[in-house]
Amino acid sequence: MKILALSDEVVDVVYSPQVKERFADVDFVVGCGDLPFYYLEFVVTALAKPVFYVHGNHDRPSQYLSDGRLIQTAEGCLPIEDQTCGAPDERKGPLLLAGLGGSLRYNDNPMHQYSQIEMHRRALALAPQLLLNRVQRGRYLDILLCHAPPRGIHDLPDRAHTGIDAFLDFMRRYRPRFLLHGHSHVYRNDTVTATRYYDTQVLNVYPYRVIDFDRVYV
């Protein structure tokens, strides 16, 4: 099971006529925020695989496409903000995803910014769906899709890039196999982008990363 994860930046290796050949073995795609809708729409059309996404702090409520249309969601893609859903896996039944996008609040822009307490509330609001997963599938979830990282893991000292406390609780409680995030841009080869926290592998996917669901990264 291969997942193409995207975040924060349009990259030529994906936004390319060769995307289908390069990522032929990918089963589905996730967007970790701060990505233009045209990019997600390109990927869903070119790869013809499901695309799930959450929002980043720079995402606006609506975006113009090159043909002048104003759109509120990336067409053909599934926003999973504050929701759980299943990504198709023919062998083992669906992979269980949940989405908690956005970042810590750092200015007056109301979009996709939250206090630490608001993030705790959002995580708590997912509990009934996660419990249902546990009853029906034997586990709470497989992948938590985020924009910001957890507090103290791949985060940065400034307020906008401080990580989220609630994600630490979330991982201790629900034990997803992966937490995928972006938001922390990576400019150096020696930057840590994979960290284990309890049973969860926290991966910074900026600006793109192919993830083998069955591989142990860290």
In the 3-class helix/strand/coil scheme, how is the chain assigned residue by residue?
A: CEEEEECCCCCCCCCCCCHHHHCCCCCEEEECCCCCHHHHHHHHHHHCCCEEECCCCCCCCCEECCCCCEECCCCCCEECECCEEEECCCCCCCEEEEEECCEECCCCCCCCEECHHHHHHHHHHCHHHHHHHHHHHCCCCCEEEECCCECCCCCCCCHHHCCEHHHHHHHHHHCCCEEEECCCCCCCCCCCCEEEECCEEEEECCCEEEEECCCCCC
Min separation Cβ 191 and Zn ion, Å: 16
Min separation Cβ 146 and Zn ion, Å: 10
Q: Which is nearer to Zn ion, 57 or 204 (CB)?
A: 57
Q: Does 204 sit near Zn ion (CB under 5 A)?
A: no
Min separation Cβ 130 and Zn ion, Å: 25
Q: Which is nearer to Zn ion, 113 or 129 (CB)?
A: 113
Counting residues that bind Zn ion (by CB under 5 A) gives 4
Min separation Cβ 31 and Zn ion, Å: 12
Q: Which is nearer to Zn ion, 184 or 200 (CB)?
A: 184
Q: Which stretch binds Zn ion (CB under 5 A): 9-17, 72-80, 182-190, 192-200?
A: 182-190
For residues 40-99, which are near Zn ion according to CB under 5 A? Answer: 56-57
Q: Which is nearer to Zn ion, 49 or 55 (CB)?
A: 55
Q: Which is nearer to Zn ion, 32 or 96 (CB)?
A: 32
Q: Which is nearer to Zn ion, 34 or 41 (CB)?
A: 34
Are 9 and 206 contacting, i.e. CB atoms less than 8 angstroms apart?
A: yes
Identify which of 151, 160, 134, 162 has the alpha carbon closest to the alpha carbon of residue 195. 151
Min separation Cβ 184 and Zn ion, Å: 8
Residue number of the CB atom closest to Zn ion: 183
Q: Does 154 sit near Zn ion (CB under 5 A)?
A: no
Sort residue 37 into left (φ over 0), alpha (ψ -120 to 50) or beta: alpha
Min separation Cβ 8 and Zn ion, Å: 6
Q: Does 183 sit near Zn ion (CB under 5 A)?
A: yes
For residues 5-34, which are near Zn ion according to CB under 5 A? Answer: 34
Alpha-carbon gap, residue 31 to 4, rounded angstroms: 9
Q: Which residues bind Zn ion (CB under 5 A)?
A: 34, 56-57, 183
